[in-house]
Chains A and B, each alone.
Chain A
Amino acid sequence: MYDALAPVAYGASIGVLRDPDHAAEVTQEVMVEVWQTAARFDAARGSARTWVATLARRRAVDRVRSEQSRRDRDQRDTDLRNGESARDVVAEDVERSLEGSAVRRCIEGLTPTQREAVVVAYYGGLTYREVAEQIGAALPTVKSRIRDGLIRLRDCLGVARHV
C-alpha cells in the first residue's frame, strides 16, 4: 500500500505545496489516514489512486491556507503583496508539473481562459473567489470556466462511470 500510493500522495502534495518538507508531512498524514480508513474506501466510486490523490490534495490545500492566514496575521499589511505573489502560479512551473501527468494532453484542448482558471485553481490551491481576484475575472465567469474546463477534461480523459 505504501509503495503503491505514497508517490501519489507525495506527488499531489508537492504539486500544491512545492515544498518537500511540507509535502512529506502531508504524505505521512495521508498515508496514516488511508490506513485508518481503508475499510471505508469504496472501489465502486473510484480508484485507490484517485482516493489518495483527493485526500492528499485536500490536506495540502488546507495547509497552504492555514500557512497563508498565519502569514497574514504575522505580517498584517506590511508585506501582503509578497504573500500574494508567493502563491502566483508561474507558467513554467505548471508546464513542468504537467510533465508525466495523465491530463497533459487534454489540457491542450481547453480554451486559454478555461486552462488558466483550472490551472490556477489547481496549483494555487485557491478558492473560486481567490482565482477571480488573481486572474481579474468576475466570480460567475470563473465558476463557469472551471466547470466547463473540468467537463471538457473529463470527456477528454474518458472518465465516465456506467452504473
Chain B
Amino acid sequence: MSDRSDGGTRGDAQGDARDLLPGYALHALDDLERRSVDRLLESDADARRALDEYHEVVASFTVDTEPPAGLRASVLDRVRNTPQVSSTSAPSGSSGTVESSSAAAVPPADGPAAGGGGDIVDLSARRRTRRWGVALTAVAAAAAVAVPTTIAVQATAERDRLREQSEIVSEMLVDPDASILRGTVEGGGQASVLVADDDMFFRADDLPEPAPGRAYQLWVVAEDGSVSSAGVLSVRDGETASLIQGVEGIGMAVTVEPEAGSEQPTTDPVVVLGA
C-alpha cells in the first residue's frame, strides 16, 4: 500500500474533504477546509471512523510529560467552580474528539435527571449538590490510575475480569448522574465510593494491615438501614477496590471481621460512606 492517488483526483467535494481528514486530525487546515470536513463528518460514519484513527496516530506523537507541580492545585481549584456539561446536550454524532464547542450555552446540569435511578431518593437529592462533582474528579483520578496499575500485576483471568471492571468504572465516571461519597477510615486511610445507577465502585488506600486473622469487609447500606455483605476486601499495599453491580444501596460501610467474613457486621464500622 504505497502512494495511493485515489480521492485526490476524484474532484468531488466529498472526496476532497476525505483527503483532508489527516490534516483535520493534525489541526493543519484553514477554516474553509475545516468546514468542508465538518460537513463530511456529519453525514459519513466511515469518515468519522477514519478520523478517529488519524487522531490516534497524531496522539501517538505525544510524550507524556509531568506538568509543573503547582498546576494540579490550580486546575482542581478551577474545576471546583465549573459546572459540568451533560452528555444529552451534545449534538448527535459528535464526540469529544470532534467537537469542542463552548460550554457557555449549555444549561446548568441540575434539572431533572433523564431516566433511571429515580427510586433512590437520597442519592438523587445529593446529585444536586455541586460539591459531589468536585469529589468526582478526585475519584476519577484515583480510578483512572488505580485500575490499570492493579491489572499489571494480576494473572490473565483476573486481568480480563479487571479490564471489564475498569470499562464499567469508566462508564460510571462519565455518567452525569454519578455521585461520590468519601470518608476517612478510622485507624488510617481514605475511602470513597462512586455511585452511578445501580453500580457502586468502592476504593480505599493507605489502609493499615488488619490484625492477623482479621480482614476488612465491605457492606452495602440500603435505604432502610439494613446492610448486606459485599465481600471481604483484598488489600494490596494498603489499596483495595471493589465494583459492586446491581445493588440498590444508599451507601457503603467497612468493618473489621474475621478473615473469612461475617454474615452481618460484628464490629463498629471503621468508615461509613453515605447518608
Contact = CB atoms under 8 A, between A and B. Distances in A.
B61 A103 contact: yes
Given A57-B27, A146-B23, A36 B85 contact: yes
Given A32-B75, A43-B170, A55 B58 contact: no
A11 B65 contact: yes
Nearest to A156: B57
A28 B61 contact: no
Interface string A124-135: 011111010000
Interface in B55-73: 55-68, 71-72
Nearest to A51: B96
Interface stretch (A2-10, A67-75, A76-84, A85-93): A2-10
A11 B28 CA distance: 19
Contacts of B4: 148, 151
Contact of B144 (A4, A32, A57, A102): A4
B80 to A, nearest CB: 10
Contacts of A101: 60-63
Contacts of B174: 38-39, 41, 43
A54 B55 contact: yes
B30 A159 contact: no
Interface residues of A, number: 80
B60 A153 contact: yes
Contacts of B56: 46-47, 50, 154, 157, 159
Interface string A24-61: 10011001110111111111011111110111111001
A140 B54 contact: no
A144 interface: yes
Contacts of B71: 6, 10, 24, 27-28
Contacts of B86: 39
Contacts of A149: 22
A37 B96 contact: yes
A117 B100 CA distance: 27
Interface residues of B, number: 70
Contacts of B176: 39
A7 B65 contact: yes
B79 interface: yes
Contact of A35 (B5, B27, B68, B82): B82
Interface in B1-15: 1-5, 8
B8 A140 contact: yes
A46 B97 contact: yes
Given A6-B72, A46-B97, A53 B27 contact: no
Contacts of B20: 143
Contact of A144 (B5, B28, B103): B5
A29 B224 CA distance: 44
B60 A43 contact: no
A144 B8 contact: yes
Contacts of A53: 58-59, 62
B87 A39 contact: yes
Contact of A46 (B52, B62, B79): B52
B256 interface: no
A112 to B, nearest CB: 14
23 contacts: A1-B137, A1-B141, A2-B76, A6-B72, A10-B66, A12-B61, A35-B79, A35-B82, A36-B103, A37-B100, A39-B85, A43-B171, A46-B55, A53-B59, A62-B27, A101-B61, A121-B26, A122-B61, A147-B19, A147-B22, A152-B1, A157-B60, A159-B60
Given A28-B78, A41-B95, A143-B20, 15 more contacts: A2-B76, A4-B144, A7-B66, A35-B84, A37-B85, A38-B84, A40-B96, A46-B52, A47-B59, A121-B23, A121-B26, A125-B27, A128-B28, A152-B1, A154-B56
